[in-house]
Chains A and B, each alone.
Chain A
Amino acid sequence: MNKTINQKAWFFVIPVFVLVAFNAIIPLMTVVNYAFQETFGNNVFMWEGTRWFKQIMLSERFHASLGRQFLFTFIILFIQIPLGIAIALTMPKEGIGVPVCLVLMSMPLLIPWNVVGAMWNIFALPDIGFLGHSLNALGFDYNFTQQIGDAWFTTILMDVWHWTSLVVLLSYAGLQSIQPAYYQAAEIDGASRWAVFTKIELPKMKKVLTIAILLRFMDSFMIYTEPFVLTGGGPGNATAFLSIDLVKMALGQFDLGPAAAMSLIYFFIVLLVCWVFYTLMMRNEGNQ
């Protein structure tokens, strides 16, 4: 086959290239620039090689915030995914209840992050907040600004409140796409409710659940605004997750080099986990 050579085709690629360059490549390269050099301002840079990377990888502070980050993400996934599926299973499949449930479920998703943080901050204040005051009135010694456990409890509760709906909506969409004939076939076989769930509903929801887990992993792993407004990372550093710690380092201490190195490491962790998870989940998929 003879292809005509026409270099003008490159013109079609340029707009996309410029767009991607401005919103991704250039900012990322700036970070790369800082990650390998030392600067004292005035556009003076000194080559540092991999020093910042070594420093971050060996830093106990980074290990601690990374540990907190994984623990937090793991806990909220462990709660939100099963809870989301369970709620989706109990939602009505037809009738007036459907739009009512869908709208109710979407509400938390429509509230801006910092508003969620501020809401929960006020809600959980031990002296005047409804949640904080009630817990104390019931005899619990609850104070999320002072006690580490309470701070974690409140942050997790807030995230569950804010984001379980996303899992619910995705699972619900997955469930709705199962044809009624599957349920009838299971009924004819005499399959139990549990068997219907594990043999039909779960496999049929696999793709949307993969998406739900990926989205929730990425969002919770990069969580910033809500805990920042709620606890500010405290008490101490107890809820300083990766991005809170990163911002402290970059803007609080103005350690641009280590912060840039940490950003890159952070980015590669997210990328790696997503890739491994996605590959594992899709490994046994046929070509359908």
Chain B
Amino acid sequence: MSLELKNVEKKIGLDTHIYSTDLKLEKNTINILLGPTLSGKTTLMQIMAGLDKPTSGEIWFNDKNVTGMKVQKRNVSMVYQQFINYPNFTVYENIASPLKITGVSSDEIKQRVGKVAELLKLSGMLNKKPNELSGGQQQRTALARALVKDSDLILLDEPLANLDFKLREELREELPRLFEDRDCIVVYATTEPSEALLLGGNTATLQEGKVIQYGKTLDVYNKPNSLLSAQVFSDPPMNITKIKKVGDSCSFLDNSVNWKSKINIKDGEYKVGIRPHNITTYKDGNNSLEIKGKVLISELSGSESLIHFTKGNLSWVSLSNGIFQKNVGDEMNLYMNADEFIYFDENERLVTNG
């Protein structure tokens, strides 16, 4: 089983929403579409589902051309950012609705709904109406509707975006388990890099209607093929600066920071991407570069400290474990882990990830 997009392109009027895209999703995989809002995630999903037709290109499913085939004939299910349930159906009727339409026997419906409801912890509220439930439970009901059908393709369009923090964390942890042992392809759209890392599987990074990179989630994270891909897959945003390499000595910020490097690349100028968690208030790794910065903003998030600072007319973001409270304008020492730098050439293509 596989889903393949061949040269799929989507234009509305003169606007191109999806640039020519080739993508092959294999069976039993979770595939994450990672990109900011308006990067084309939803459009791409609707094309995959058959809710929307591509302007050109083909969609193949199980070596069969399904371009333009109606969504009802495709055995797909979809979960949306909004909690979409039939308002005057009970939870039970909602979950059962896709089965009823396809004419499954009532005994089987009962058994399958019961199983899915248990998996999603909805067993106690099968007789309630959606508007009597919390947001989290409403979204669980929508998830159950998608899972009960045994679809070949399950599409989830930012399913956790409308939930509050606690419910999101709770459901996020359950998600990977829900898709285990399922004979289907899961596609999951999100704007959050941490969600992609948690779900694992494969990730496609998207920006402005283009798929920048597709591969195993950790590979995409560790070896972004371009600066753009790295930026999409970094939150807080990645720090970018120019470095100069001559022999085994590297420097940046007009020679104000120097270090010896055994890195095996040609001499010249490079752009480096430095993830915020590789700039810390403490030494981390064997190749720590000490720099002095001036604090712009200092904020705490859980047990992590996010410090924005300026250094050499550039603004930087650092993320350290632990609580470090700084005042705006303070001078402080920060340490960059030079082993974790990601090097890009002048065309912003990956050279090496250290």
Residues of chain A touching chain B, judged by Cβ–Cβ distance below 8 Å, are 179, 181-182, 184-185, 187-191, 199-200, 203-204, 284-288
B131 and A288 within 8 A (CB): yes
A179 and B89 within 8 A (CB): no
Q: Give the top 6 A-B pairs by smallest Cβ distance, nearest first.
A: A190-B72, A286-B131, A203-B87, A181-B80, A288-B131, A203-B88
Known: A190-B101, A190-B102. A200 touches B72 (CB 8 A): no
B101 and A188 within 8 A (CB): no
Known: A199-B88, A199-B89, A200-B87. A188 touches B78 (CB 8 A): yes
Known: A286-B131, A288-B131. A189 touches B97 (CB 8 A): yes
Which of A185, A189, A199 contacts B80, CB < 8 Å? Answer: A185
A190 to chain B: which residues have CB within 8 Å? 72, 101-102
Known: A286-B129, A286-B131, A288-B131. A187 touches B84 (CB 8 A): no
Known: A189-B97, A189-B101, A191-B101. A181 touches B71 (CB 8 A): no
B72 to chain A: which residues have CB within 8 Å? 187-190
User: Could you mark each residue 52-85 of chain B with 1 if its beta carbon is under 8 Å from any beta carbon of chain A, else 0?
Assistant: 0000000000000000000110001110111010
B71 and A188 within 8 A (CB): yes
Q: How many residues on B have C-beta within 8 angstroms of the other chain's C-beta atoms?
A: 23
B78 and A185 within 8 A (CB): yes
A185 to chain B: which residues have CB within 8 Å? 78, 80, 84
* B51 proximal to A (CB < 8 A): yes
B86 to chain A: which residues have CB within 8 Å? 199-200, 203
B46 to chain A: which residues have CB within 8 Å? 184
* B98 proximal to A (CB < 8 A): yes
* Docked complex: B71-129 residues within 8 A CB-CB of A: 71-72, 76-78, 80-82, 84, 86-89, 97-98, 101-102, 129
B87 and A189 within 8 A (CB): no
The chain B residue sitting closest to A198, CB to CB, is: B88
A191 to chain B: which residues have CB within 8 Å? 101
The chain B residue sitting closest to A191, CB to CB, is: B101
B76 to chain A: which residues have CB within 8 Å? 188
- How distant is the Cα of A185 from the Cα of B76 in the complex, in angstroms? 10
User: Could you mark each residue 181-193 of chain B with 1 if its beta carbon is under 8 Å from any beta carbon of chain A, else 0?
Assistant: 0000000000000
Residues of chain B touching chain A, judged by Cβ–Cβ distance below 8 Å, are 46, 49, 51, 71-72, 76-78, 80-82, 84, 86-89, 97-98, 101-102, 129, 131-132
A-B pair count, CB < 8 Å, reads: 50
The chain B residue sitting closest to A181, CB to CB, is: B80
- How distant is the Cα of A190 from the Cα of B73 in the complex, in angstroms? 8
A187 and B87 within 8 A (CB): no
Known: A191-B101, A286-B129, A286-B131. A184 touches B87 (CB 8 A): no
A181 to chain B: which residues have CB within 8 Å? 80-82, 84
A179 and B87 within 8 A (CB): no
A187 and B101 within 8 A (CB): no
- How distant is the Cα of A191 from the Cα of B88 in the complex, in angstroms? 15
Q: How close is B102's CB to chain A, nearest CB, in angstroms?
A: 7
- How distant is the Cα of A100 from the Cα of B51 in the complex, in angstroms? 29
CB-defined A-B contacts under 8 Å, sample of 8: A179-B82, A187-B71, A188-B71, A188-B77, A188-B98, A190-B101, A199-B86, A286-B131
- How distant is the Cα of A188 from the Cα of B82 in the complex, in angstroms? 16
Q: How close is B157's CB to chain A, nearest CB, in angstroms?
A: 8
Residue from A188, A284, A287, A288 with most neighbouring chain B CB atoms (10 Å): A188
- How distant is the Cα of A288 from the Cα of B135 in the complex, in angstroms? 11
B101 to chain A: which residues have CB within 8 Å? 189-191
B89 and A182 within 8 A (CB): no
Q: How close is A218's CB to chain B, nearest CB, in angstroms?
A: 27
A285 to chain B: which residues have CB within 8 Å? 131
- How distant is the Cα of A284 from the Cα of B72 in the complex, in angstroms? 32
The chain B residue sitting closest to A189, CB to CB, is: B98
The chain A residue sitting closest to B151, CB to CB, is: A188
- How distant is the Cα of A188 from the Cα of B146 in the complex, in angstroms? 10
A203 to chain B: which residues have CB within 8 Å? 86-88
B87 and A204 within 8 A (CB): yes
With contacts A188-B76, A189-B101, A287-B132 known, what are 8 further pairs, Cβ within 8 A?
A179-B84, A184-B51, A184-B78, A187-B51, A188-B51, A188-B78, A188-B98, A286-B131
The chain A residue sitting closest to B77, CB to CB, is: A188
A179 to chain B: which residues have CB within 8 Å? 80, 82, 84
The chain A residue sitting closest to B130, CB to CB, is: A286
B51 and A286 within 8 A (CB): no
The chain A residue sitting closest to B73, CB to CB, is: A190
The chain B residue sitting closest to A187, CB to CB, is: B71
A288 to chain B: which residues have CB within 8 Å? 131
B82 to chain A: which residues have CB within 8 Å? 179, 181
